Amino acid sequence: MVKATDYLSKEEIKQFTARSDLMGWWLVASNWLLIAGVFAVVINWTNPVTVVLAVLVLGGRQLGLAVLMHEAGHKMLFRSDRLNEVVGQWLCAYPVLGDVAAYGASHRVHHRHAGTEQDPDLPNYRAYPVSRASFLRKIRRDLSGQTGFSLLRMLFGGEGRNLMLREGEKTNAEKRGLLVNAALFLLMLALGVGGYYLLWVVAYLTTYPLVARIRQVAEHGNVPDLYDPDPRRHTRTTYANPLERLILCPNRVNYHLEHHLLASVPVHHLKALHQLLLQRGFYVGHEGALAGSYLEVIRRAVPELNRAPAAA
């Protein structure tokens, strides 16, 4: 199986895996500043267009917080394990009803078994490619809230937490998630805009599941070989424009192949790692491991979208 040391020196690996408290704080602060900016825009210019755009962008920012929870679960958001635990939980995981410990435990299993039948995340992308009708049904379930409510039932029914955690820990994580969301609502209420908190809830139930689904498809859906241990075969990196980075792949999460090659690289180093690997021929012969956009990813995952309409 390909290893990072096949393409990188030990010194380069040390540089790429260096963590930064300053960058960790910037990532957390910038995500919350974007969230505050979205609320500010829709509060000051409330109309159907800004409301729809707010729900869409907030769903992407909720994914952004989940990505930072992922970073904290890998202990890469900050140099300090304590900051990864406290900030990762209270400012990243709990606002989206996640849990750093539970996610980190299950996600490490995914990394250990990616490219095999034992990958616990296979249900998220094993079915691809899918038909156009199937993909549209998934989108309808997401945007109608069906997926979001199913997620809530799973979380609060006890199915969504990693079994390695004790029952008390699972309950505390759920209570703290509700507490953080209550605090967000009370803060907005104190500012006289409490009703706008509903946009956060609507986004969580609709656009957040949709952007999370597209992210999963981009990372592992319809890859060259889902059961090959080489990450260039079972994982994909997707190039993204600014709009896609805002909504579909916040915090450089689109560089997923590089993350699977060297999981200890913080997100702020992934683009530089990708560029160096390009120079060294890492992707030669593995063009299927790269996609030029998220639209291209969807077209690969739903082949019927590429067919020309039949002549009249």
Phi, psi values for residue 259, rounded to 5°: -65, -40
Q: Among 101, 98, 24, 90, which residue's Cα sits nearest to residue 63?
A: 98
Cα angle 116, 273, 287 (rounded to 5 degrees) comes to 55
Q: What is residue 311's predicted lDDT score, i.e. its pLDDT?
A: 47
- Look at the pTM and tell me if it is higher than 0.75: yes
Question: Contact at 8 Å (CB) between 209 and 147?
Answer: yes
How much is the pLDDT for 106?
A: 87
d(CA 53, CA 167): 39
Residues 6+ apart with CB under 8 A from 76: 19, 84, 264, 265, 266, 267
Q: Give the residues across from 290 on adjacent strands.
A: 237
Report which of 223, 212, 304, 284 is spatially closest to residue 250, judged by C-alpha positions.
212
Tell me how far the alpha carbon of residue 9 is from its chain's centroid. 29
Does pLDDT of 163 surpass 50?
no
Residues linked to residue 238 through DSSP beta bridges, in sequence order = 291
Position 66, amino acid = A
Q: Is the pLDDT of residue 160 over 60?
A: no
What is the C-alpha separation between 165 and 175, in angstroms, rounded? 15
Q: Mind listing the pLDDT tens digit for each residue in 122-154?
A: 999 999 999 999 999 999 999 999 999 998 998
Q: What is the pLDDT of residues 284-310, one digit of tens each?
A: 999 999 999 999 999 999 999 887 555
* Nearest by Cα to 72 from 19, 14, 110: 19
pLDDT at site 171: 61
**For residues 232 and 289, is the Cβ–Cβ distance under 8 A?**
yes
Cα(131)–Cα(206) distance, integer angstroms: 22
Is residue 49 within 8 Å of residue 206, measured between CB atoms? Answer: no
Q: For 195-242, how does the pLDDT look when each residue is reduced to its tens digit (9 = 90+)?
A: 999 999 999 999 999 999 999 999 999 999 999 999 999 999 999 999
Return mean pLDDT, the chain: 93
pLDDT the model gives residue 309: 56
pLDDT in tens, 186-203: 999 999 999 999 999 999
Kindly report, residue by residue over 232-278, the tens digit of the pLDDT: 999 999 999 999 999 999 999 999 999 999 999 999 999 999 999 99
State residue 166's pLDDT score.
Answer: 45
Place 155 in a pLDDT band, splitting at 50, 70 and 90: confident
